Structure 1
């Protein structure tokens, strides 16, 4: 709940700043609202997968370049198959191939963490480098343009004034919210994050769950890469590089504990919008964009301190 309250306070703060500085409005401007929502799309899709991982007590540092890898694969595949299959079918095939390829590093991450007991930080950091190198090799070190007008329409078109990519993201978030809050998979995820030994003794197959968990996280990154490619009508290996910090920040700001065992998709949604409002709002009030990194970093630190304080007062585990 604190994430939504902070989002409201942040929006009101920028509203007051905009009225005093420019005599205009920040919140009651439909262009600003849509721009903020579009800013939040890719980080939010990444953050949904990261939410599952952090709730389980892990972290996935490879998501940014898995997203870039998927973006490049989507671009090459759509360009290759569209002339023969047609524009809509080319997009469908390209999306399936890109998301499937993204699942490969997720599978490797899952095997490293669940079977070989490699710490998630180290295993996914290694995959960060591998995915980065493969993505740049496939892209030839450049951005890969996409020749498919149907794909460009998905990325930049609107229905009743609402961009398609916002609707796609909203539907995806609802599905992930249901998966986490209403299914056995989601409940097992909370149990493992809260106490992995107790979860194992209760009959949960922890190894199998962690394997599927990292695959799911990578598939989310794959979808984020496809959405990015649709928005810019091109695939770029570095597409997700600046979004890794944003997706982790969204999860933490949204109330998930880095110790595991707590967090929600709806909280992550609020966290993603907090990041988007900070990034867009600072540009709107004509502040140097480099302050975005400082602001996001401060918000992350404050969120972690609040989480630690809550755990201390509630008697939760705090690692010394």
Structure 2
């Protein structure tokens, strides 16, 4: 009888816990859906334009690309109970070095596509060095990640400005713009238009203004990185160790997980995704900028938090980070279309971030209290 009573009591206590976990997991999806519905009604009513257009949807995807790439690596770091404040400037450093490598290779007679590949390898390689140094200091010297990555962000900023000579790196071959702005598919509206794949159609100037690009190459590459990161986090030992370290560092050490080596890899991964973001920025703007990533750091952290990655570590998903990035992009785009001033956009995003943290903390607090009672 006692056992059955305990079982019934356990069922009663688990029900609110399950509901809380479900609500904390789905709130971002619900908020995104409500936000899209709001803008779909408000934008036509206020400005006369339509929020639901193919071009606007593709613009949102392009807008989230750098934020999402920074957030992907940050997801691994925060799940492991860390933080990386250097990724914004690592992106800038990668943009500068990818531009320098592409220009040097092309000027030396290397064809365009191999030059672009050389720029990608150079950008990711330089970024990986920064992540390796961060990881070694954090893991081996036991310096708090906040201090290490804050300090390295200043160093990386100085190096980026030094190698760019405090200006934009230009003189790149114009052909790289196609890699940064052309698309997988095209839709040309109007008479004489149609659907095209893999190659931009040769159309008149009038039809060109009615052409929509579907899935630009940076978006496609970002999608590939997202899938690789999702697989790495959910289906590999690397991901399981990441969750374990964030859940309990001491327990991970006792079970034989090589914590120091794993932390170094995590910070390298964080910098490498930022390196990809910097490389894609160079392709998109046909130039290397030493300041391009600076405004994106906080947005990337906000996307991770909104997406449900726990600040205390041990919980989070790549899909959540994607949703968080979409929320920020949709929110910003919708407010711009409503002619809302920029400072209100910052205020609204800040409120959403605080709400996400409160939801995360309330979930952990409730579950912790329930666990201590049991």
Task: Summarize the alignment of residues 1-320 of structure 1 with structure 2, pairs less than 5 Å apart.
Answer: 1-26=26-51, 28-83=52-107, 84-161=109-186, 162=214, 163-315=216-368
Q: What TM-score does the superposition give when structure 2 sets the normalisation length?
A: 0.83
Q: CA deviation at 1:231?
A: 1.1
- Give the paired residue count: 316
Q: Are the counterparts in 2 of residues 50 and 248 from structure 1 also a CA contact under 8 Å?
A: yes
Say if 1:247 and 1:146 are closer, same or farther in 2 by CA, change over 3 A.
farther
CA distance in 2, matches of 1:293, 1:139: 30
Aligned 8 A contact 1:145 1:233 in 2? yes
Instruction: Decide whether the 8 Å contact of 2:43 with 2:334 is kept in 1.
Output: no
Separation in structure 2 between the aligned mates of residue 261 and residue 114 of structure 1, nearest angstrom: 18
CA RMSD, Structure 1 to Structure 2 (Å):
1.3
Kept in 1: contact 2:74–2:301 (CA 8 A)? yes
Partner secondary structure for residue 85 of structure 1: coil
Distance (Å, rounded) in 1 between the aligned partners of 2:331 and 2:354:
15
Query: Deviations for 1:118-138, whole angstroms, at most 9, x for unmatched residues?
Result: 100000000010000100111
Alignment check: 8 A CA contact 1:88 1:150 kept: no
1:94-146 deviation digits (Å, cap 9, x = unpaired): 11011101111111100111000010000000001000010011111111125
Rounded Cα–Cα distance in structure 1 between residues aligned with 2:182 and 2:40? 28
Partner of 1:261, secondary structure, is coil
Kindly tell me: are residues 35 and 78 of structure 1, through their superposed partners in 2, closer, same or farther at Cα, counting changes over 3 Å?
same
Answer with 1 or 2: which has the greater Rg.
2
C-alpha separation in 2, matches of 1:187 and 1:137 = 40
Structure-2 change in CA distance of 1:316 and 1:224 (3 Å): farther
* Partner-residue secondary structure (3-state), 1:159: strand
Partners of 2:93 and 2:316 lie apart in 1 by: 28
Superposed CA deviations along residues 23-48 of structure 1, whole A, max 9, x for unmatched, are 4321x211110111110000001100
Provide the rounded CA distance (Å) in 1 between the counterparts of 2:142 and 2:253.
Answer: 15
Check whether the contact 1:46–1:63 (CA below 8 A) recurs between aligned residues.
yes
Unaligned runs of 5+ in 1: none
What residue ranges of structure 2 are gaps of 5+ in the alignment?
Answer: 1-25, 187-213
Residue of structure 1 in register with 2:6 after alignment: none
The verdict on how the C-alpha distance between 1:21 and 1:34 changes in structure 2, with shifts beyond 3 A counting, is same
For each residue in 1:163-190, what CA deviation from the matched residue of structure 2 results, as whole angstroms up to 9, or x when unmatched?
1111111111011100001000001000
* Segment drifting more, 122-131 vs 307-316: 307-316
Is the contact between residue 47 and residue 337 of structure 2 (CA under 8 Å) also seen in structure 1?
Answer: no
**Moved >3 Å (runs of 4+):** none
